[in-house]
Amino acid sequence: MGWASPSGLFAFGFYPQGSGFSVGIWLVGTDENTVVWTANRDDPPASANAKLYFREDGKLLLNTEEGSEIPIIDGSGPAVAASMLDSGSFVLYDQNLSAIWNSFSYPTDTILGGQNLDSNNKMVSSESRSNHSSGWFFLAMQEDGNLVSYPVNSSGESDDSYWSSGTGSAFGMTYYPTQLSLNTEGALYLSNGMSSSIIHTFRNSSNPSKNKTTIYRATFDPDGIFRLYSHRFENNGSSNVSIVWSSSSDQCDVKGFCGFNSYCSNPGTKAECHCLPGFAFNNPSEKIRGCSRIFNGDDCSKMNNQLISYNITTLENTGWGDYPYYKKSMKMEECSKFCLDDCNCGAALYSNGNCYKFKLPIRYGRINQNETATALLKGHLQRVKSANRPPPAPMNTEVKIDGKKTLILVLSLSLGSIAFLCLVIAISSFWVYRQHVRSYRQVSEEVNLGSTEEFTLQSFSYDELEKATDGFREELGRGCYGAVYKGTLERDNKVVAVKRLEKVVEQGEKEFQAEMTAFGQTHHRNLVRLLGFCIEGSRKLLVYEFMRNGSLADLLFNAEKRPIWKVRVRIALELARRILYLHEECESQIVHCDIKPQNILMDDAWTAKISDFGFSKLLMPNQEGIVTGIRGTAGYSAPEWHKNTLVSVKADIYSFGVVLLEIVCCRRSIEVKVSTADEIILSSWVYGCLVARELAKLVGDEQVEFKSLERMVKVGLWCVQDDPALRPSMKNVILMLEGTVDIPFPPSPTL
């Protein structure tokens, strides 16, 4: 039951959805009701014990079973009365009985007779006929006068559109429409709101019948097609529904109808979705949810450890709508090999003598007899361990030596090679030792001479720090290059954190010098402050300010300390802004190189501060990359660290993306104790949930704001792309997290 309009044809209130109830407006029908508007459509359904009520201050609120009060309507003033009209609009009135809010101004997926969709507004399809949360497509009344359909999460550019009215300035019109309108007689048209001039008509009015009441609604349906319906109510109480106009008759015209890594075919009257070869449906009962690979494409990057065998499967008359990342003229056989040899290539299209390579996911796939392209899909055959690899093919030139001669020759060559190798190692070790001794002396001399202008830090003796830490008794944490201990300085009774560097003979000195230089030139209230240092021979220590509330890891991975959603969102933004400072606002650009929850500390006000520049690297102005050895922490370090290639600030972006996904889910990036194998690798699991529109799985029963959840997930997935060029800058990361800019749908983090 709901709050009915005078005619009884419309009602406002709770309607069943999923395992609970949503608040909305529906058109009453003989067989079933038709929902035409939903409040807070992306919130979880309310329980059966939830209530709607007007508070004394005039706010219409939903009171949940848990005691939360959720506004049903935002932005209106205090209301003293409300009405459910026969037009299908729910209206709020102030004390002067002037309308201050109405549902017609905020359409979800439907407009009714007398309702408009104004310029710069849009309707978003529902998830399904029974689930009225936001779906996969949107219909935009653009500022240029064109009414256009797009997939959700697309760029909103013309290449992503799949239907338009063909009106507006882009089509040479000097006088173009500004709103979509539906009148009570069923006329659906585009008009100029200022002059009320009809510019384009989709369907004309019908003559009303005296023996029946007809209600018209224009709905942007879950399949992405815009349809005009008529609901005819006979005097005897019966009713029927019919489609009187639609934007398309073929569901395969809708880009993204079948989801990612799939293709649409229309052999009869209804479209069918199929997975590309090598893929399986994410949800076999809902094939429009798209598909995922049935093997781990990341194996391609591990060819040096094992032999991975792939094959190519072809599909004729197939195309899709994404842009290729590479195009070259060649034969089809060459195109197949070209894709097989490229780990980034998930599929290729061969058309008119050209080879087009694409990364996953594949979007907008379709079988079309008018399509001349052939799709080449990479599939996985088998994996052969290195020990079982077949022997290499013999060389064309053969040298045959019999019996003892062979043994003597082999032994001679082997012993000679070993002796030469030992000589090279001895010389190299002596040279490295000399270099270290020389640099130790140089650093010690600088400290003894008081050359601390670059650092402006205090110098401590080893004995002083050993005493301050009570013999390094209370360990706060341990990193790749040393442990951190709690201490109290005798000179001013200040509580500090002392990091004792280990492995200093090899990489510790590099770490020490990098950390000293970076902090000497870096001053920010949200970076953990380095107070001083100690250099005594091979002993090197750093003294930091002490953070009483521990690290972000202590909060995220401890169920009892876990921050609420709003706090986690704030921490993510704080962290992004701190990294932006290092990348773009310091005198010298700094790559932190080891961003992880353990290196993000919380001060007394629970503000996130970045610590541990142990791996930090300075970039001079206009320097795009640095060549360095492997750094960072496993699970957080970017792939380029392991490829001996140029490393830039994009390495920090990758690490931030891993941390961001951990902030969302409050779990580590790699977890073995999980419910299913899909959940072991966090980024892969998150991407699967995003594709399947099951983001609620990531936060369990926690109440979160869905839009911010989706934003953080998308940003995190963009940041952990294998290709550094695909990762956004930290400035763009902040804009996306703030909701200032739209976020395109990210590719799969790994092939």
For residue 558, the domain's CATH number is 1.10.510.10
In a domain, 201, yes or no: yes
Active site residue 470: no
Mean pLDDT of 577-592: 77
For residue 507, the domain's CATH number is 3.30.200.20
Position 546 pLDDT exceeds 50: yes
Position 300 pLDDT exceeds 70: no
Nearest alpha-carbon partner for 704 in 555, 565, 563? 565
Residue 337 binned pLDDT confidence (cut-offs 50, 70, 90): very high
Of these ranges, 479-488, 578-587, 689-698, the one predicted with the greatest mean pLDDT is: 689-698
Q: What percent of the chain has pLDDT over 70?
A: 76
Q: How far is CA 113 from CA 185, 187, 214, in A?
A: 7, 9, 10
Q: How far is CA 612 from CA 145, 362, 518, 557, in A?
A: 54, 40, 10, 20
pLDDT of residue 737: 92
In a domain, 444, yes or no: no
In a domain, 579, yes or no: yes
Position 309 pLDDT exceeds 60: yes
Domain termination site, one of 499, 517, 545: 545
Of these ranges, 36-40, 395-399, 425-429, the one predicted with the greatest mean pLDDT is: 36-40
Position 217 pLDDT exceeds 90: yes
Position 508 pLDDT exceeds 70: no
Position 242 pLDDT exceeds 90: yes
Quick one: 602 and 714 in the same domain? yes
Position 92 pLDDT exceeds 70: yes
In a domain, 356, yes or no: yes
CA torsion, ordered 591, 594, 597, 601, to nearest 10 deg? -60
In a domain, 270, yes or no: yes
Q: Check: CB of residue 126 under 8 Å from CB of residue 109.
A: yes
Quick one: 30 and 170 in the same domain? yes
Residue 441 binned pLDDT confidence (cut-offs 50, 70, 90): very low
Q: What residue type is 353 in one-letter code?
A: G
Quick one: 539 and 558 in the same domain? no
Position 80 pLDDT exceeds 50: yes
Question: Which position among 223, 594, 612, 652 bears the catalytic label?
Answer: 594
Quick one: 216 and 269 in the same domain? no
Mean pLDDT of 489-498: 89
Domain termination site, one of 357, 388, 419: 388
Residue 499 binned pLDDT confidence (cut-offs 50, 70, 90): confident
Position 734 pLDDT exceeds 50: yes
Sign of CA dihedral 558, 561, 567, 570: negative
What CA–CA distance (Å, rounded) separates 271 from 500?
65
Q: What percent of the chain has pLDDT over 90?
A: 33
Helix, strand, coil percent content, the chain, rounded in steps of 5: 25, 30, 45
In a domain, 403, yes or no: no
**More confident site: 21 or 426:** 21
In a domain, 405, yes or no: no
**More confident site: 432 or 292:** 292
Residue 108 binned pLDDT confidence (cut-offs 50, 70, 90): very high
What CA–CA distance (Å, rounded) separates 129 from 109?
11
Q: Which residues of 621-641 are buried (b: 16+ CB within 10 A; e: fewer)?
A: eeeebbebeebbbeebbbbbb
Mean pLDDT of 477-500: 85
Quick one: 518 and 557 in the same domain? no
Quick one: 72 and 129 in the same domain? yes
Determine if residue 499 is labeled as part of a ligand binding site. yes
- Give tens-digit pLDDT for 312-323: 999 999 888 777
Mean pLDDT of 195-214: 76
For residue 135, the domain's CATH number is 2.90.10.10
Quick one: 608 and 515 in the same domain? no
Which domain does 582 fall in, by range?
552-738
Quick one: 14 and 129 in the same domain? yes
Quick one: 619 and 666 in the same domain? yes
pTM of the model: 0.61
Domain termination site, one of 490, 516, 545: 545
Q: What residue type is 549 in one-letter code?
A: N
pLDDT of residue 22: 94
Quick one: 484 and 568 in the same domain? no
**More confident site: 714 or 66:** 714
Least reliable range by pLDDT among 162-171, 504-513, 599-608, 720-729: 504-513
- Could you say which DSSP state residue 9 is in? S
Quick one: 168 and 32 in the same domain? yes
pLDDT of residue 623: 46
pLDDT of residue 515: 58
In a domain, 424, yes or no: no
Mean pLDDT of 375-380: 85
- Those residues whose C-beta lies under 8 Å from the C-beta of residue 65, and which sit 6 or more positions away, are 46, 47, 49, 50
pLDDT of residue 437: 41
Quick one: 561 and 537 in the same domain? no
Domain count, the chain: 4
What CA–CA distance (Å, rounded) separates 364 from 322?
7
- Give tens-digit pLDDT for 697-711: 999 888 888 889 999
